[in-house]
Each structure stands twice: as C-alpha cells, then as structure tokens.
Structure 1
Amino acid sequence: MYIVIDKIRLDEVSRAHLFQEVRCMKLVQHPNVVRLYEVIDTQTKLYLILELADGGDMYDYIMKHEKGLDESAAKRYFRQIVHAISFCHRLHVVHRDLKPENVVFFEKLGMVKLTDFGFSNKFCPGQKLETSCGSLAYSAPEILLGDSYDAPAVALYPRYNL
C-alpha cells in the first residue's frame, strides 16, 4: 500500500508532525506494527510505502460481527496489540491514538498490527508530555482535562496484566 502526501499544502507545523510520524515508524520495527518499507521524499510529495493489511480494521470487524470474537481469538489479538505497544514504549515511542480503527487484520497471517502513527512522539522517561492529541472518544482523562501526562501510563490506561 502507498500513501502520497502533497507537501505543498502543509504548513510548517503539519510538516514537522509528518516527519515525526515517519521517524517513529522507521524506528518501530515489530511483527505487530504495520511496516514502513520505503519513504520517497521529493520536493513536492512524500510517498510512504507500507505493508498492506488484507482484512480491514478492528472497528469494521466489530461493526460486522454483533456477537464479537470468540474469547481465544480476542485474547490472541489483544496480546498482539499490547506486545506492539510495549515494544514502542521500550523505544520511547508513544502512539497516542490507540483505537479500533488503528488496528488492522492480516487474515492470511492470523494476526493484527498497529498502524497510523500520525500522533506518535518520542518521550523521555520521567518527563511528562503536554500535547493534547488523539481521538477524543478514546482519550485518557488526563488528556481531556488538559493536564500534562506520563506517556506510557496514559497509553495503557487502564493497565491490564497479560
């Protein structure tokens, strides 16, 4: 899959966010993260060549299956998502937009992968982030209140022991 971004239409802040996303995606190479294969940067366009998911996203799956997933499959997929997030955090990368739309199925491989690092950022352990971002409906209370927040703690809120 490829994404073409017209850099001419981006202001400086948007351009900085875009290159932050690319830096984070290049850094996070994990079996449960959609792989960024290539970045082609021209004067006017940025081309991102990404791994192609063959099964849609988690949100679509939820909407199509009223009865949901059987428990063993749900556990397997949830474990994969948490492994991806944990790996990101070990590299001091926080995704900041975890939601069903950003988890995609690779049906032939029997797995899910995390995608869309558009709000991702690097963090320093022990230092709080200030930026309010992500999807409102999925935001942690700290972000909604405009408080500074510990990036890994907010990303895994509430915490689950797998």
Structure 2
Amino acid sequence: MAGFKRGYDGKIAGLYDLDKTLGRGHFAVVKLARHVFTGEKVAVKVIDKTKLDTVATGHLFQEVRCMKLVQHPNIVRLYEVIDTQTKLYLILELGDGGDMFDYIMKHEEGLNEELAKKYFAQIVHAISYCHRLHVVHRDLKPENVVFFEKQGLVKLTDFGFSNKFQPGKKLTTSCGSLAYSAPEILLGDEYDAPAVDIWSLGVILFMLVCGQPPFQEANDSETLTMIMDCKYTVPPHVSAACKDLIDRMLQRDPKRRASLEEIEGHAWLQGVDPSPATKYNTPLVSHKNLSEEEHNSIIQRMVLGDIADREAIVE
C-alpha cells in the first residue's frame, strides 16, 4: 500500500474524503470519511507515525495483523491500510449507533435481561472466534463494542492490545484499563491469555445488567483492592441465572473461570441467537437461480471488464 500518496488535505490517496473527528487517542484520531466513488461511509483511524515509540509501533502492527486475521460478522472489519511517509490510515467499518458504554450509561439500572442477553451472546460469539484463531483481545470493555443498528448487531473493535497467543504459553504484557483488568494482569504475573478476556466478559455482563461497573471505587487504589479481593455486589433485580454466570467469569483464580464453551452453554444464554449476523452473509443471488441468459451476460461483462478470461470464469 506504500505506493499511495496523500493528496491535498482532507483526502486520503484521492479515495476518501475526511469529515468530522469521532474520537482521539494518544497517537491517533478517528475520523468519519466517505469513499469518493461509492459514497460509502467508513471510519478512518489516522495514526501519526512521527509520534510513535517502539512500544506503540509494536501495538499498531499487532492491531493490523490481528484485525486482518479476524473476519467475523461481530467484529469491525479493517478494509484497507494506507501507508504514507508520516501517517498510517486504517480504513474501518463504521458503526451507526455509538458504543456500548454510552448506551449503558443511558440505562441507570442496566438493560432488561432479554436485551442484555442478545448483545452479550454476540460478544461471546466474537471472542470465541478470536480465541479459536489464537487471538486474545486484552482490552475488552463496553467502549470497544460498537452498535450497528441497521443490522441489529454489536461488533468488537480496537485490537490495539490484541496479541497472538500459543495455548499453554503465558503472556506477560500488562495492558487494558484498570476497571476491566483481571487481577493477574494487575499483579504483573505471567498470565493465561484467554482467561483475561473471560474476566473482562464478566465485567461487561455485570455492566449490561447493573448499569455500572462492578469495581469502580472513588480512587484507583481502592478499585485495585476490590479487584484483588474480587469484591462486588450484584443488585437484587438481577436473575439468579445471570448472577451465576457473572460469578463464574469473575473468579480471582483464572483456572476457575468459566471457559467459553461453558459460557455459551450456560442456562442464562439458552434460546438466544448468538449469530443473527449470518443472515446478512448469504449472497443475495445464488448462481443456481440465474437464467442461462443472465449467466452469459455476467460472464460477458467480466471478460469485457478484463476481470478474467472466459475459461477461468466458467471453471
């Protein structure tokens, strides 16, 4: 992608018109953008390479590697990467409904459980897929779950702390945000990668049904103590089954935490479709339904458009 040149300001490579800023990080801004030819809206993460130290550069390459690897209906797609001398542009799928943190903050007592179940099942589905590919997210929190309202979906984003892991091998990097971090990360121990994501799933489910984080004290040292003691209180309006699932994920000892199979098979999550997205992934027209005439005309256009020769297409 390095062949791209950045044109005048506000356009990347002549392909995307940049619009308003959606968010800011240390080295990056996320902007709304529109594809010049198709008009499709995307999110563009603009990274200033001049501000990156080696650690940040490492995270960035890791993010790009992991996002290229994980292609799932409940994970924000990385469409392309445009690299210029001073900046790196990640062209990402754009959610139309804000993030889950803002959504939770609008529900003081938490969401009703049917709704919480619908969203939580999709997040579990996405993490389960990542772990099968040996990718651990390590920064799971409601801010990194985005709504796609038209599709009726939530999708995971921000793989800046993600990493490849080898089953049985421990990781040592501490990362993520305090209120969502597992005890073993905060201790600076080596840790089992997948179990860290499970802990964060427990925090997310707690927030969905309670409307606030389980460990959020007046200051960081108190929050830290509560996490280390694994002290939290589930309000009485939460059902016993839901409380049981939260308790199985928020276990101080990573070995005692529920596995993803146990979470997916848990009584509370039964009867909910973890993958409503698959409905959108079937092709609209199957070649079996095409008439001979339509079939020939499509091949004709592909040949004329120099996409391939007839033999290759028919094959």
With structure 1 as the length reference, what TM-score do the two structures score?
Answer: 0.96
For 1:87 and 1:161, how far apart are their aligned partners in 2?
14
Structure 1 residue 137: deviation in Å?
Answer: 1.0
The structure whose Rg is larger is 2
Match among 263, 275, 278 for residue 161 of structure 1: 263
Q: What residue number does 2:62 align with?
A: 20
For 2:102 and 2:193, how far apart are their aligned partners in 1?
28
Match among 133, 144, 157 for residue 115 of structure 1: 157
Q: What residue number does 1:59 align with?
A: 101
For 1:39 and 1:60, how far apart are their aligned partners in 2?
28
User: For 1:108-147, what aligned pairs fall within 5 Å after superposition?
Assistant: 108-147=150-189
Amino acid at match of 1:72: E
Structure 1 residue 66: deviation in Å?
Answer: 2.0
- Compare relative contact order (CA 8 Å, sep 6+) and give the higher one, 1 or 2: 1
With structure 2 as the length reference, what TM-score do the two structures score?
Answer: 0.50
Write 1 or 2 for the structure with the bigger share of helix: 2
Structure 1 residue 29: deviation in Å?
Answer: 0.4
For 1:155 and 1:96, how far apart are their aligned partners in 2?
6
Q: Unpaired runs of 5+ in structure 2?
A: 1-42, 200-248, 250-257, 265-315
For 1:105 and 1:28, how far apart are their aligned partners in 2?
18
Q: Deviations over 1:67-123 (max 9, x none)?
A: 432322211110100010011001110000011111111111111001111110111
Count residues in correspondence.
Answer: 162
Match among 33, 43, 48 for residue 6 of structure 1: 48
For 1:18 and 1:135, how far apart are their aligned partners in 2?
18
For 2:109 and 2:178, how far apart are their aligned partners in 1?
26
For 1:16 and 1:142, how far apart are their aligned partners in 2?
23
Q: CA RMSD in A?
A: 1.1
Sequence identity (%): 80
For 2:56 and 2:114, how far apart are their aligned partners in 1?
41
